[in-house]
Every structure is written in C-alpha cells, then in structure tokens.
Amino acid sequence: MATTKDNTSSEIKKSPIVKSSISMITMTVMIITTIVSLRGLPSQAEFGLTSIFYYIFAAVVFLIPYSLVCAELASTYTQSGGLFRWVSEAFGPRFGWAAMYLEWQTVVIWFPSVLMFASVSLAYIFWPESFDQKLASNKLYTIIVLLGIYWFSTFNTFRGIKSANKLSTIGGFMGTIVPGAILIILGIVYLLLGKPIELPLHQPFFPDFSKLGTVVLAASIFLFYGGMEMQGVHIQNMKNPAKDFPLSVLLATIAILIIFIFATLSIGIVVPQKDINLLQSLLVAYRDLWSALGIPWLGNIMAGLITFGVIGQVSVIIAGPSTGLMAVAKSGYLPRSLQKTNKNGIDTSILYIQAIFVTILTFVLVILPSVQSAYQIMSQMATIIYLVMVIFIFGAALKLRYTEPNKKRGFKIPGGMLGIWIVSVIGIGGALFALILSFIPPSQITTGSPATYIGVLSVGSIIFVALPFVVYALRKKDWRNPASKFYPFDYEIEGRKPSEKSKWPEGYVPSQTQIEAAIEKEKEN
C-alpha cells in the first residue's frame, strides 16, 4: 500500500524534480516484490487448472489497467499526497480523503486475515502433523497468536520506521522470495519423480460462470494484485517512463503470473482438491513435497520461515498507511489530538486506534463457524474496501483528462481519449465484477448462514465506506496543523472548482505568489 510522507512544507520552495536513475528492470523488480505473496495461493488451488484462467483474467482486467492509470496519475501529480491528491484533483478533498482513508482501512482489515495465516504457519513448526492441524484450527490459539504478533509489531514500530524496515527486509526475502522459489522447484522435482498427482487434470480451463458460488474465491485475486498505487509514485524517476514503464508492467505481469500459477499448481498436485484449506494447505504442500524427497522435517522449517516473513511484512505495513493518513490529516481531516508523534516520529495515537480496530475484528472468529471462514470474510471485506478505492482512482484518471487536458504528464496512457476510456472501462468493469462476487458466499468452504455472511459483509462495508465521509462532515477548522503547508491542488491555485475545466495553457507553471495565495485562502476556509 502506498505511503505519504509529510514533506509538504519544503515542497513549496522545491526546485524542479531531479530524476534519479530507476531502470526498466529495477521498476519491474519493484512491482514484482510489491505484489507477490504466498498467503492466498491455497484459495486459488481450489480451482485446479481453472486457476490459470483466473490469474490471467484478473491481470488483464485489473493489474495492467490499474498499473497504467496509477502511472499516469503519479507522473502527473508529483507533489506529496499520493492517491489523496489524485482523487482530490478530480472530485475534491471529500472524495480524496475518503480514498486515503479506505486505503488505510483496507490494511487494517487485512491485518487479521494475514495474521491468521501467520498463526497457522507457526502451528506447523511442531510435530506431528495431526497436532499441527488441530492447533491451527483452534480459535483461542489463533486469537492469542494473532493479537500477540500484532501488538508486538505495533510496539516495535513505536521505535521508528528504521527498526520496522530492518525486520521487513529480512522477512521479505527469507519469508516470501525464498519459500516461493522453493515451492515451485519442489513442484517440478515432484513431477519428475513420477509421484501421484492430485490435481484434477480433467477440470476445464474456463470456469462455469453460471455457478457463481464456485468462483467467489477468484475475486480475492484482485487484492493479490493490489499495491500499484505505491510503485506508481516512482515513475517520475525513470529515464524514459513513456516507453519503459509499460514494458516494466508487461514483464512484471508475466513474472507475477508465472510465480502465482506455478506456485498454485505446486500446491494442487500434492493436496487433494477436497482437502484444500485456505489457511493450512500451503504448509501441508511443503510438508508433502519435502516428504517426497525423504526429508519431511524441512516442511517445519519452511513454516518457520513463512511465519517470520509475515511478521516482517506486518511490521513495516503497520506504519506505512498510518503515516500517509497522518500527513493528510494535518491539513485538517483529523483532530489535533491524533496528529501527535513520539520522539521517533511515529504517530502513536493512530497506531493505537489501528490496533483497537484489529483487536475488535479479531473477535469475528468467535461468531463465525471456523478460523477458515473468519479468514475468508476478512479477506473479502478487505477486497471490497480496496475495490471501492480503486474505482475512485480510475474515475479520477478519466475525469482529469477532461478537466486538466493541458497538464504535463510524465507518462500518458497511449491512444488519446479512446485509450484511457478503454483502460478505465475495463478496469472499472473488472473491479465491479469482483466487488459483486465478494458478497456471494463461496461454495467451497463453510461460512455459516449465508444471511449472516452477506449481512456481515454488507453492514461492514457500508460502515467503513461511510465513515470517512462522516469524519469529513464533522471536521473543524482548528484540526488544521499550522505547521503543515500541504501543497495546494491545481484547481485551488487556479481559483476554480474541481468540476470546472482548467484554462491554463499547455506547460503552464504557477508562480510562487499564486501558490502562497492558494495556501492562505485554504487556511481561511
């Protein structure tokens, strides 16, 4: 997820951006490491060979269009604020604030689901496997481990971003990249040894869309592919973004598809489809694959590495979106009491609120029939919130082509207005399709009463989407931090409304006087 640094006070006197050297290959690697995660692979292993279709379909209707739109917006609006600035320029700060908040809320909802996976991974470091499975399914154990890891990571973040980054860097490599490569290699070796294949090879490549309950889990792929709004902000540092970024997206997409598809199939070849568990099957696959080589205990080692990787990932993400939220909040979107930082520059108040949210959501485990069903509903809730934010971003990119046609764009989606319409329609259509699917109870797992499942998702989604608009309506003038000099929006500098078309000629650069005047006027409001 994207983060926003509070460097706006220095931006007003900033000279033109100096590009550092981010090559096409470097950007490709950055995109891959942002997106790839092993956590969700079992949900797609449910589909066997059909999972290949879902991965490709989601890449075509979401990953590629979203990458291109984020690239255009990030290379056009280079001042701080990220997606808050992108959406605000198009629809005003009410929707910009909502988009920023929804990104933060997505991560908050995401935490319990990823930490459930961590608790299961931790359970699989023990012997025998029957004990692991029983422990991993125990609600009390899951709640204790989940909250223990989260609160430990929160207090570690209080020590500063540097401390969290160290843990994340090591955890990301040892807990994601290495296990992912090993999983694919083990799958290939397993096939070469002529071991029995559990993957239902008779299953078709194309799904049966008449049975929506069987394709619900595929909607989670859209969240797998999330995070491009983070790497899009670096596009202005590429030497030739118009040429190199689309190529980076293409290469990264191919690499991501290879990793996801082959890692998913590696799980499917050793775990029978009827036995696939959203949380446990990845660990079971490692155990079975290593057992085929006569060294099953290495499966327990892999479980330890994956647990460490999740802890590292959570450690750095705890601070990321909350830092961005705080930077924007200083412009008057949260009470001053929530804008205070400790000696390490960390906003502890927002982190405490974030931790309370996570703690409350954790107890969804108590009302749902199983740990697996809780994991599913948390994942779908995060997907819904994220997709609402994504639709805001697609809409902003499309509208800004009309209201600010002469704005200099470091990268511009090819094809003129037709090109951005095609990209936006495909992206919004794909997001809406996944959004609708997310409310349908999956047929592969037990989630209790369908009415309860749909009710929890519906009520939760309404509350979380409405909350930022309520906060915006209740905001007060004294919430603005006098020390914050957030760079004004283009429409503020020009003295127009977001819905009105800019009259600036192509290549126009506002003067320092215009910028300062816009800042003072915003303070008065």
pLDDT score, position 279: 74
CA angle 505, 509, 514 (to 5 degrees): 110
Helix H or strand E segment including 199: none
The answer to pTM > 0.85 is no
Cα separation, 499 vs 403, whole angstroms = 7
Strand partners, 238: 22
Per-residue pLDDT in tens (0 to 9) along the chain, 525 residues: 433 333 333 443 443 434 456 788 877 877 776 677 787 788 788 788 888 888 998 889 998 899 899 888 888 887 777 888 899 999 999 999 999 899 888 888 888 888 888 888 888 887 777 777 788 888 888 889 889 988 888 887 787 766 556 666 676 677 777 888 899 999 999 999 988 888 877 777 777 776 666 667 677 788 788 877 766 556 667 777 777 878 888 888 888 888 889 999 999 899 887 777 777 888 889 988 999 899 988 988 988 888 888 777 777 677 666 766 777 777 788 888 877 778 877 778 888 888 898 898 887 766 777 777 777 788 888 889 999 999 999 999 999 999 999 998 888 898 999 999 999 999 999 999 889 888 888 765 566 678 888 888 899 899 999 999 999 998 888 888 777 777 888 898 888 899 899 998 887 888 888 887 877 777 666
> What's the confidence (pLDDT) of residue 321?
66
The CA distance from 85 to 75, in Å, is 12
The neighbouring-strand residues paired with 22 are: 238
Q: Which two tokens stand for residue 430?
A: 């794909």
pLDDT at 213: 60
Distances from the Cα of 475 to the Cα of 93, 323, 333, angstroms: 12, 20, 6
Q: Do 426 and 57 contact (CB within 8 A), yes or no?
A: no
Whether 171 contacts 308, CB under 8 Å: yes
- The pLDDT of residue 340 is 77
pLDDT of residue 372: 74
Confidence (pLDDT) at 99:
92
By the 10 Å C-beta count (0-12 exposed, 13-18 middle, 19+ buried), 297 is classed as exposed
Q: What tokens does 19 get?
A: 């590009």
- Identify whether the C-beta of residue 310 lies closer than 8 Å to the C-beta of residue 123: no
Q: For position 401, what pLDDT does the model report?
A: 95
Q: What is the phi/psi pair of residue 372, to 5°?
A: -65, -40
User: CA-to-CA distance for 341 and 63, rounded, in angstroms?
Assistant: 36
